[in-house]
């Protein structure tokens, strides 16, 4: 009898523990009825190949459900959404690279290895417990008790599935997770076909943008810069003074700025999906859509500006491996981490500070006009340590060696991330650093022949923003030529660095509207071409 109780309790805990993490409510989920149904029945099976086969199949099912439930908790913490087997398994590699950048390769391998060993170990022990040398017999008391537990569990499962929950802290997580993932797989597959069909049958045509001919257009993404950074009471006292100072400094130089909001397709991570959404004019909210977009002939802003006569380039300091997506977009030039001659230290996941990236861009990449550039700022990417100061004298930056003193400044991620309140403080400071630098960059490059668009790529994870946060991100459009900003004001943007409150804006436009707006406001409507 002890074997039954130990096995059922262990597998019960394996099923409900990930749900405690996901829903942050231990008391609501203490019993998983499936463990108390299947374990007694398996212990009653007679010896033979069928018993071993059924035990193996059930443990495999249980393993898949456990992985899905653990993935659901992790995905919600990171991206504010549910785990989707159809879409998220390819992201495991990205998760490993993020972990590697924060704690090192050895520690990353060790952590993932220990986690896998623990999970596999639980299932090996469970398999041994479910295959005793002498199965339970209905002629003995323990066999009758096992049958009674299974019968009671079957009854309560039936009632649960019919909407009658007699035990308020009990659930059927194996069944619920399996049904939920199956629904997601079928729905996502259908959506995949619909998205692919849309790309083929209704592509957004490539359009020259004569209204921007001869001008530099710099699309600059700020990592994790969501509306929470300027509206959440926890962070706004850090960011709003910076925005006010930026506006004052820009106005003193005769540079105009308007600000608004766009809704990002994602939250917490996967910045490349936001980049793809802005460039393509299509909402790209998952990796599958991203692959389909790049494999299609659908045009992007890169094609639009190529057609306008611009040189196109992408500055991506976070890219440390092969990036075939850059070629798929069709950029004339790509500057990934290895293409930028940075001689300073990496700062955990961040390969180089934003001030170096922007200084190198201004000194070396903006000399030949007109150009369209996508620039990604990454200093405000987790783990948000160390926090660097903004150097007022940009001439000191050079090859970046000046940043060496900050290599080990502040607490390392494994120390910082033990304190949630400190994590949130560091988030605000790092975004403030990135936004302040974007403003200083605008002072250097924004003239009458430049349109600079600074926007957040996505909100931070729910850990930072809280649950149910808006996906809106701030957008600042900057130029010394006020005529270039007039179309944005007509679309609800407001003068200055402070965008309108997300609570007051009805139907915040998606980030995919940016390309469509540029078409509507700056394209030659009589001229179209295909990519």
CB-based contact 257:476 (threshold 8 Å): yes
Query: Of 79-93, 172-186, 348-362, 473-487, which gets the smallest average pLDDT?
Result: 79-93
Mind spelling out the 3-state secondary structure of 467-507?
CCCCCEEEEEEEECCHHHCHHHHHCCCEECCCCCCCCCCCC
Whole-number pLDDT of residue 93: 59
Whole-number pLDDT of residue 89: 65
DSSP state string for 399-468: TTGGGGGGTT-S--HHHHTT-HHHHHHHHHHHHHHHHHHHHHHHHHH-STTEEEEEEES-B--HHHH-TT
| 12-28 average pLDDT score | 79
Q: Which pLDDT band, with edges at 50, 70 and 90, does 99 fall under?
A: low
* 156 has a pLDDT exceeding 50: yes
Domains and CATH numbers, the chain: 2-189 (no CATH), 207-302+318-368+379-522 (3.40.720.10)
CB-based contact 279:515 (threshold 8 Å): yes
Backbone phi and psi for residue 32, each to the nearest 5 degrees, phi listed first: -110, 105
* 277 has a pLDDT exceeding 90: yes
Higher pLDDT, 228 or 55: 228
Query: Quick one: how far is CA 417 from the chain centroid?
Result: 18
Q: Which pLDDT band, with edges at 50, 70 and 90, does 97 fall under?
A: low
Whole-number pLDDT of residue 461: 85
Question: What's the whole-number average pLDDT of the chain?
Answer: 84
Residues 6+ apart with CB under 8 A from 289: 192, 195, 273, 282, 283
* 529 has a pLDDT exceeding 60: no
Q: What's the CA gap between 339 and 252, in Å, rounded?
A: 35
The pLDDT tens digits of the residues spanning 291-309 come to 777 777 788 999 999 999 9
Whole-number pLDDT of residue 220: 95
Would you give the end-to-end CA distance of the chain in angstroms?
70
* 128 has a pLDDT exceeding 50: yes
Whole-number pLDDT of residue 530: 37
| 328-337 average pLDDT score | 89
Note the residue count of the chain: 531
* 114 has a pLDDT exceeding 60: yes
* 282 has a pLDDT exceeding 90: no
| 503-531 average pLDDT score | 77
* 104 has a pLDDT exceeding 70: no
Beta bridge partners of 454: 220, 476
* 338 has a pLDDT exceeding 80: yes
pTM reported for the whole predicted model: 0.75
* 503 has a pLDDT exceeding 60: yes
| 8-34 average pLDDT score | 80
Whole-number pLDDT of residue 526: 39
The pLDDT tens digits of the residues spanning 400-443 come to 999 988 888 878 887 887 888 889 999 999 999 999 999 999 99
């Amino acid at each position: 009898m002890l074997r039954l109780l130990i096995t059922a309790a262990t597998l019960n805990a394996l099923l409900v523990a990930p749900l405690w993490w996901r829903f942050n409510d231990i008391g609501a989920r203490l019993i998983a009825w499936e463990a108390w149904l299947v374990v007694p029945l398996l212990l009653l099976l007679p010896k033979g190949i069928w018993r071993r086969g059924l035990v193996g199949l059930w443990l495999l099912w249980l393993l898949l459900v456990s992985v899905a439930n653990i993935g659901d908790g992790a995905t919600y913490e990171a991206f504010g959404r549910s785990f989707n087997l159809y879409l998220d398994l390819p992201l495991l590699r990205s998760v490993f690279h993020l972990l590697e950048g924060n704690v090192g390769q050895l520690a990353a391998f060790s952590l993932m290895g220990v986690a896998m060993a623990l999970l596999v170990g639980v299932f090996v022990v469970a398999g041994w417990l479910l295959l005793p040398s002498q199965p339970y017999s209905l002629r003995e008391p323990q066999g009758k008790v096992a049958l009674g537990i299974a019968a009671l569990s079957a009854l309560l499962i039936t009632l649960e599935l019919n909407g009658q929950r007699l035990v308020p802290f009990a659930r059927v997580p194996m069944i619920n997770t399996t049904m939920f993932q199956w629904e997601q797989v079928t729905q996502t597959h259908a959506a995949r076909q619909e998205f692919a069909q849309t790309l083929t049958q209704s592509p957004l045509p490539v359009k020259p943008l004569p209204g921007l001919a001869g001008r530099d257009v710099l699309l600059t993404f700020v990592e994790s810069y969501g509306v929470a950074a300027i509206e959440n009471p926890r962070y706004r006292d850090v960011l709003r003074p910076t925005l006010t100072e930026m506006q004052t400094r820009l106005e003193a130089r005769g540079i105009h700025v308007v600000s608004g909001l766009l809704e990002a397709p994602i939250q917490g991570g996967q910045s490349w999906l936001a980049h793809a959404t802005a460039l393509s004019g299509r909402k790209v909210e998952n990796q599958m859509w991203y692959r389909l977009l790049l494999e299609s002939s659908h045009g992007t802003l890169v094609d639009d500006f190529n057609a306008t006569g611009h040189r196109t380039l992408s500055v991506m300091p976070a890219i440390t491996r092969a990036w075939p997506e850059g070629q798929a977009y069709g950029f004339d030039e790509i500057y990934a981490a290895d293409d930028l001659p940075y001689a300073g230290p990496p700062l955990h996941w961040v390969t180089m500070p934003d001030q170096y990236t922007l200084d190198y861009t201004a000194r070396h990449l903006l000399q030949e006009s007109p150009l369209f550039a996508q620039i990604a700022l990454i200093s405000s990417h987790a783990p948000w340590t160390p926090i660097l100061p903004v150097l007022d004298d940009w001439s000191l930056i050079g090859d970046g060696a000046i940043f060496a003193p900050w290599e080990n400044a502040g607490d390392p991620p494994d120390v910082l991330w033990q304190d949630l309140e400190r994590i949130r403080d560091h988030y605000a400071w790092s975004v403030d650093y990135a936004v302040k630098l974007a403003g200083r960059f605008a002072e250097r490059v924004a003239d009458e022949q430049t349109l600079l668009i600074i926007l957040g790529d996505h909100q931070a994870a729910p850990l930072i923003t809280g649950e149910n946060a808006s996906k809106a991100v701030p957008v600042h459009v900057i130029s010394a030529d006020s005529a270039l900003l007039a179309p944005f004001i007509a679309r609800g943007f407001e003068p200055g660095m402070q965008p309108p409150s997300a609570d007051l804006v009805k139907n915040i436009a998606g980030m995919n509207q940016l390309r469509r707006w540029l078409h509507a406001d700056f394209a030659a409507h009589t001229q179209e071409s295909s990519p």
